[in-house]
Chain A
C-alpha cells in the first residue's frame, strides 16, 4: 500500500525567505511519480512540480524545487523567496506506475502562511 506523510500541519515563513515543506512516502513500487500541489482557499488544486522515481536530478520549476532523497523516501518542497500569494495548503502526492490505476495518493497537507 502507498502512503504519504506530511508531518507539518502548519508553517509560517517571512516574506522573501525560503521555506521547506516536508514529505515522506512509502511504497513497494519501483516506478512512481511524486507531485506537489497548491490549494488556495478557493479549492482548486494547482500543480506545482513533478519528480519521477528514476529522475537523477532534483526537479525545479521557477521558485519551486523538489529535494528528492530516494533512499530516505522523502520528497520535500522548497519554495524560495516566499511571496504573500504563496499562503495556501500544500499537498504532496504520489502515483505508482505500471498498474492499471493511475490515481494519486495525497498526504494531509501543510498550511503555509507567509508573513509580511
Chain B
C-alpha cells in the first residue's frame, strides 16, 4: 500500500506567478484535504475534495483553487502569488465521508517560497 505522495518537494516562485501542487492519495482513499502551514504555525485548512467535488473550504481567497481527479489524486492551484503564500503545503487523504472518524494520512508536503 503506497502512502500519500506530493510533488514537487520544493518550489521557488516570484510574486504574481501561478503555481500548481500535486498530491496522490493513499490507495483506497477518496477524500483529499489541503493544508497550509506557515513557519512556526500549525497547519490551516484550505479545502477538501470528496469524489471530485469540493466538500468544504477554509478561510482562503478564491485564488486558491483545486481539483480532484477520478483516481482521487488532487491539485492545488494558487494564482497571483503573494509573499505570504510562502509555506509548507500539506495534502492529506482519508477513507470515507467527510466528518467520519477516519484518520487523515499526510504527505511529506511541498515547500513553496515566493520571492
State the A residues within 8 Å of B (CB): 4, 33, 35, 37, 42-47, 50, 52, 91, 93, 95-109
Contact = CB atoms under 8 A, between A and B. Distances in A.
17 contacts: A33-B101, A37-B106, A43-B109, A43-B111, A47-B104, A47-B105, A50-B101, A52-B101, A99-B98, A101-B55, A102-B33, A102-B48, A103-B56, A104-B43, A104-B45, A106-B35, A109-B42
B107 interface: yes
Contacts of A37: 106
Contacts, number: 78
Contacts of B103: 35, 47, 50
A103 B42 contact: no
A96 B33 CA distance: 15
Chain A to chain B: the 8 pairs with minimum beta-carbon distance, closest first: A101-B56, A106-B42, A102-B98, A45-B106, A103-B45, A43-B109, A44-B108, A102-B99
B31 interface: yes
B55 to A, nearest CB: 6
A100 B43 contact: no
A106 B98 contact: no
B113 interface: no
A4 B103 CA distance: 18
B48 A103 contact: yes
Contacts of A50: 101, 103
A24 to B, nearest CB: 14
A45 B90 contact: yes
Given A43-B109, A100-B98, 12 more contacts: A45-B92, A47-B103, A96-B99, A101-B55, A102-B55, A102-B100, A103-B33, A103-B45, A103-B58, A104-B45, A104-B104, A109-B42
Contacts of B108: 42-44
From A33, A101, A103, name the one whose CB has the most chain B CB atoms within 10 angstroms: A103
